[in-house]
Amino acid sequence: MYLRVNTLNKLVPYAARRFIDNLPAIFTGDFNHALLEDDSDCSQLLELYKNVAMKQVFSHPDVEQLELQGYRVISGLLDIYQPLLKLSLEDFSELVAQERVRRLPIASRLYQKLSTRHRLAYVEAVNKLARTAPEFALMEYYYRCRLIQDYISGMTDLYAWMNIGDSWRWNRLEFCKDGQ
C-alpha cells in the first residue's frame, strides 16, 4: 500500500509538470512520447516497475492464458465486423441512412447490432466533415473504424465472449458442412 501511494505521490506531480511544460508541443502534436518517458528518476522508477511486472506478473501462465484468450476474442470480433469496413463509402452511407439494405444482408445485420449510441456518434462526427474536402473519405473511414472499435471496447467480457462464441459455433457448422 505504502509503495503504491509513495510512487503515485512522485509520479503524478511529475507527469502533471511535464504536461504543463510541454503543453504547446502537445497541442500541436509535436510531443511524441509519454510524459514519463525521459531520463528522469521518475522514468527510471517506472521502467523498474514495468520490468518487475513483466517478469513476475505478466509471465505467469494463468495471466498469459487470459491475455491470449482476450486477444482471440478481440481478433474474432474485429473479423466479425470486418464486412462493414469492406463496404464502399457509398454503400456504408446508404446503410447508415436506411439501417437495412436488402442487397447487403450481412452488413445490415452487423450494423443493427451496433449500439444506437455508437451509431449516432459516428453520424455526428461524419456530419461535421466537409463532404467536398479531399480528406473526407479517409476521415469517414477513420470514424467507421472508431465506430467498431468503440463498440467492441464497450462490451463486457461476457457479452464479447457470447458474441464470439456464436461466431465460432457458426464457423464450425460451416466447416463440418464442407465435409472436412
Per-residue pLDDT reduced to its tens digit, 68-80: 888 888 999 999 9
> At which of 15, 40, 57 does a domain end?
57
Domain, as residue range, for 170:
66-177
One domain, residues 127 and 162: yes
Whether residue 87 sits in one domain with residue 45? no
| Distances 65 to 69, 70, 72, 78, 138 between C-alpha atoms, Å | 6, 9, 11, 20, 37
Please tell me the pTM assigned to this model.
0.65
Q: What is the widest separation between alpha-carbon atoms in the chain?
A: 65
pLDDT of residue 177: 47
16/70 same-domain check: no
Domain identity same for 70 and 40 = no
Where in 33-173 does DSSP place strands (E)?
none
**How many structural domains does the chain have?**
2
Q: How confident is the model over 25-51, as pLDDT tens digits?
A: 999 989 998 999 999 999 999 999 999
Co-location of 157 and 121 in the same domain:
yes
Nine-digit cell at 75?
481478433
